Amino acid sequence: MTYQAPAELVDALRGANKILCVSHINADGDAYGSLLGLMWMLRVVGKQVTPAMPDPVIQEFEFLPGAGEIIPPQAVGAIYDLIVCLDMSSQDRMGAVFDPVRHAGIPLAVIDHHVTNTRFGSVNWVEANCAATCQMLTVLADALDIPIDRQIAVCLLTGIVTDTLCFRTSNTTPDVLEAAMRLQRAGAELPAIVQRTLNRLPFNTLRLWAPVLARVQLREGVVWAGATNAELNAAGHEDDDLRLNSVLSSVNEADMSAVFTEKVNDNGEPVVECSFRAKPGFNVGDLAFRLGGGGHAPASGCTVPGTLDQVIEQVIPMMIEERRRQLDAMS
């Protein structure tokens, strides 16, 4: 299958000079990779590009070329010709970067691969069959006649590697491999990117697994585990990812898995970040969407108000019900 960037998007990018690029809260490799990859691409054709993120840059992605240029919400200006929203399924995922009053009237261009995308932009390019937003940007580079240099390639390959868990997800099509091959030929080093992103586990995170895995549960093909905010703080946890998703999603007896991380929001109230995975043939995308989040059939997430216990009590029965429904539909 060949993908094509819509003409309205290409025109919007060509016609703009001062461009704000933004990606989502709780950013991952595809968020950083697409943000910085597009920045370098548009600079090749002389655009004035500012990259912004709602949260501080996490250490894991500081190696990406241009990461030091990412500005926080309070440094974002008011006057841009275009705001490009990357890897973002809904407008609220821009966090405080986007101010509906200050930024009123500025067109939004959405480039995303989430099937749950709400198409909130003035121009929307959503390719739910693409494995990463970074994969879409290789297509956009051609539409804009931008040669992919090493900097661009490193950013884009990082997004593809992280979103496909190194070419292991069910959406790793020949197109994904072709895009990756092209980026590697352009100078991106696959082993170095894998080493810096997927193959890393802080010792504090490993230690946190002990109490968390002691409470792991399996019921009707659903496996789950979660960490309280107190446990996260006590462990001196350096990022917010428990890195347990791939462990739980490999459990033979489970078709769906969930990892819960309890946090405290800006109002001092407990909220729980939920991260879901489904085995091929199962879908956790709809569940996350109903809980106010988003994602894809094999992987999705949401943030639910409440303590760890409250949220598990609310979400797990929904998940079990969802799996039953999907099993029924299969038979």
Binding site for Mn ion (CB under 5 A): 30, 87, 133, 163
Nearer of residues 133 and 197 to Mn ion, judged by Cβ: 133
- Measured from the CB atom, the residue of 131 and 274 that comes closer to Mn ion is 131
Nearer to Mn ion among residue 9 and residue 115 (C-beta): 115
Rounded to whole angstroms, the Cα distance separating 73 from 64 reads 20
Min dist. Cβ of residue 213 to Mn ion (A): 27
**Please, what is the end-to-end C-alpha distance for the chain in angstroms?**
30
Closer CB to Mn ion, 136 or 188, in the complex:
136
CB of 22 to Mn ion, least distance (A): 14
Which candidate, 97, 1, 5, places its Cα nearest to that of 56? 97
AA identity, residue 139? V
**Residue 124 structure tokens:** 């929307």
* DSSP for residue 228: -
Cα dihedral 240, 272, 296, 87 sign = negative
Please state the closest distance from residue 322 (CB atom) to Mn ion, in A: 22
Cα–Cα distance, 168 to 177 (Å, whole number): 11
Identify whether the C-beta of residue 308 lies closer than 8 Å to the C-beta of residue 262. yes
Closest approach of Cβ 208 to Mn ion, in Å? Answer: 25
Please name which of 279, 275, 252 lies closest in space to residue 263, comparing C-alpha atoms.
275
Shortest CB 296 distance to Mn ion, Å: 9
Smaller CB distance to Mn ion: residue 87 or 231?
87
Nearer to Mn ion (CB atom), residue 177 or residue 234: 177
Q: Which residue is nearest to Mn ion (CB)?
A: 30
Helices and strands of the chain, counted as H and E runs: 11, 11
Nearest distance from C-beta of residue 292 to Mn ion, angstroms: 18
> Where does residue 166 rank: exposed (0-12), middle (13-18), buried (19+ CB within 10 A)?
middle
